[in-house]
């Protein structure tokens, strides 16, 4: 609970934080980046024997990019007395100003691509090497219950039962315009499920631990914080948040080699984007050279090429490696669950807590209580990633 003295002593900080909250809530990038005509373009691409480049349409933006950027930079950060906190908020302003530029450029290939690189970076040589290492490992025999027999409605019922272990509400909506089978909207606290998707038993377990066990947990922990930036997101929070989410899959015993290979394919696809591959070229690389099922190859290619070129997906594997090492070193994961925060700002989180400007995590990821992974191959892979 924030005291009157803390509010008084940090009046400038709370004013800036509140103003940034008002501005940032309008630019959830992924809400503008999911194509509206995915299925239509997928059908056209397949019918053309994978030669005609998809032409995706995107939701209209409801903000003025110039005015929004000007408002972001108008915040008087010099009034924040603490050097470390001021540095954090300066990074936040630059991060979201860049996100505005990226969102504004959706559909403009070169402009969007270069702005998105500033947000998410590119895979390094070691990241590509890690992906190839995973892909060269012989496939395991698929376990039982791999049949995709569950509908989106079945998944909804499963998730509604799963969330009972947490003390927060779960709002679920079915959607025809998301690239993933399921995703969390932080701004609306909603779990979206792809309406025409089918799921097997392990996928339901994976998605529940990933989307609810981490993304929903950090959403509601962030909303509980006195400073709104915990809810809106620190710079570089994507790598940490996706790393935590996949690590939750691992701890719950749901992480499989086939799932790790999907994350590896995303790195390979992001690397192909950086090398100048077209949509068709990336699809050909995954489907014909790596022999990946064409539906999976299309989705991964879509995720990487949407908007004009989006490298975010390579961060799942790098984030997993960093969180895995952080955990194995004996560190407490709780500070990383306080909101949409980043691993490189753990010291800032702890400092804010000590100053009474942040609270500890109310909700803790259920799978983190005990390691239920019994697949030695997964441990071998994670231990040997560079």
Could you read off the pLDDT of 224-233 as tens digits, one per residue?
Answer: 999 999 999 9
pLDDT interval class at 144 (50, 70, 90): low
- Kindly list the strands in the beta sheet with 190-194, ordered across the sheet, starting from the edge strand earlier in the chain: 171-175, 190-194, 182-185
Q: pTM higher than 0.85, yes or no?
A: yes
pLDDT at 337: 98
| Residue-wise pLDDT tens digits, 82-136 | 999 999 999 999 999 999 999 999 999 999 999 999 999 999 999 999 999 999 9
> Is the CB of residue 304 less than 8 Å from the CB of residue 179?
no
CA dihedral 14, 20, 25, 31 (to 10 degrees): -140
Using alpha carbons, select from 280, 321, 331 the residue that is nearest to residue 301: 280
Comparing CA positions, the residue from 72, 65, 70, 75 lying closest to residue 100 is 65
- Report whether 72 contacts 93 (CB < 8 A): yes
Phi-psi region of 49 (alpha: psi -120 to 50; beta: other; left: phi over 0): left
Say if CB 148 and CB 199 are below 8 A apart: yes
In this prediction, residues 140-155 reach a mean pLDDT of 80
pLDDT in the model for residue 58: 94
Output the six-digit token pair for 71: 């408002």
Could you give the CA distance from residue 274 to residue 108 in angstroms, rounded to a whole number? 16
For residues 312 and 280, the answer to whether their CB atoms sit within 8 Å is no
DSSP string for 25-48? TT--HHHHHS-S-HHHHHHHHHHT
CA gap 270, 274 in Å, rounded: 6
Its domain, for residue 209, covers 4-384
Cβ burial, residue 171 (10 Å; 0-12/13-18/19+) = exposed
Q: How does residue 252 score in pLDDT terms, banded at 50, 70 and 90?
A: very high
pLDDT tens digit sequence for 192-226 = 999 989 999 999 999 999 999 999 999 999 999 99
Question: How far, in Å, CA of 266 to CA of 220, rounded?
Answer: 28
Average pLDDT over residues 164-188: 89
Q: Is pLDDT at 374 greater than 60 in this prediction?
A: yes
Q: Count how many domains the chain has.
A: 1
- Two tokens at 283? 């699809």
Burial class of residue 290 (count of CB atoms within 10 Å of its CB; 0-12, 13-18, 19+): middle
Tell me the DSSP string of 343-376: GGGHHHHHHHHHTTSS---SS--GGGGS-----H
Determine contact, residues 50/287, Cβ cutoff 8 Å. Answer: yes
């Amino acid at each position: 609970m924030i005291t009157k003295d803390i509010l008084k002593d940090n009046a400038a900080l709370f004013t800036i934080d509140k103003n940034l909250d008002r501005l940032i809530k309008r630019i959830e990038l992924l809400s503008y980046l999911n194509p509206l005509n995915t299925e239509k373009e997928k059908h056209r691409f397949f019918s053309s024997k994978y030669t005609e480049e998809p032409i995706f349409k995107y939701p209209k933006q409801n903000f003025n990019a110039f005015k929004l950027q000007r408002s972001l930079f108008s915040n008087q950060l010099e009034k924040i007395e603490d050097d470390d906190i001021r540095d954090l908020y300066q990074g936040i302003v630059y991060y979201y100003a860049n996100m505005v530029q990226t969102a504004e450029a959706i559909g403009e290939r070169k402009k969007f691509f270069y702005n998105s690189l500033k947000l998410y970076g590119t895979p390094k040589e070691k990241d590509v090497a890690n992906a190839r290492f995973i892909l060269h490992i012989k496939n395991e025999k698929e376990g039982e219950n791999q049949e995709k027999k569950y509908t989106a409605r079945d998944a909804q019922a499963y998730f509604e039962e799963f969330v009972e272990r947490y003390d927060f509400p779960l709002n679920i909506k079915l959607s025809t315009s998301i690239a993933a089978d399921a995703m969390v909207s932080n701004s609306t606290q909603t779990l979206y499920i792809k309406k025409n998707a089918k799921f097997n038993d392990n996928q339901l377990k994976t998605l529940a631990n990933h989307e609810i066990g981490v993304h929903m947990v950090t959403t509601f922990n962030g909303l509980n914080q006195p400073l709104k930036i915990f809810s809106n997101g620190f710079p570089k929070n994507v790598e940490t948040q996706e790393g935590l989410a996949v690590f939750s899959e691992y701890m719950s015993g749901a992480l499989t080699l086939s799932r790790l290979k999907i994350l590896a394919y995303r790195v390979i696809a992001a690397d192909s984007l950086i090398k100048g591959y077209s949509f068709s070229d990336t699809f050909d690389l995954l489907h014909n050279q790596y022999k990946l099922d064409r539906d999976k190859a299309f989705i991964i290619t879509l995720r990487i090429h949407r908007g004009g070129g989006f490298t975010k997906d390579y961060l799942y594997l790098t984030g997993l490696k960093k969180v895995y090492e952080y955990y194995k070193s004996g560190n407490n994961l709780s500070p990383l669950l306080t909101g949409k925060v980043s691993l490189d700002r753990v010291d800032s989180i702890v400092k804010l807590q000590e100053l009474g400007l942040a609270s500890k995590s109310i909700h803790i990821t259920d799978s983190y209580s005990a390691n239920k992974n019994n697949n030695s191959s997964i441990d071998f892979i994670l231990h040997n990633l560079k």
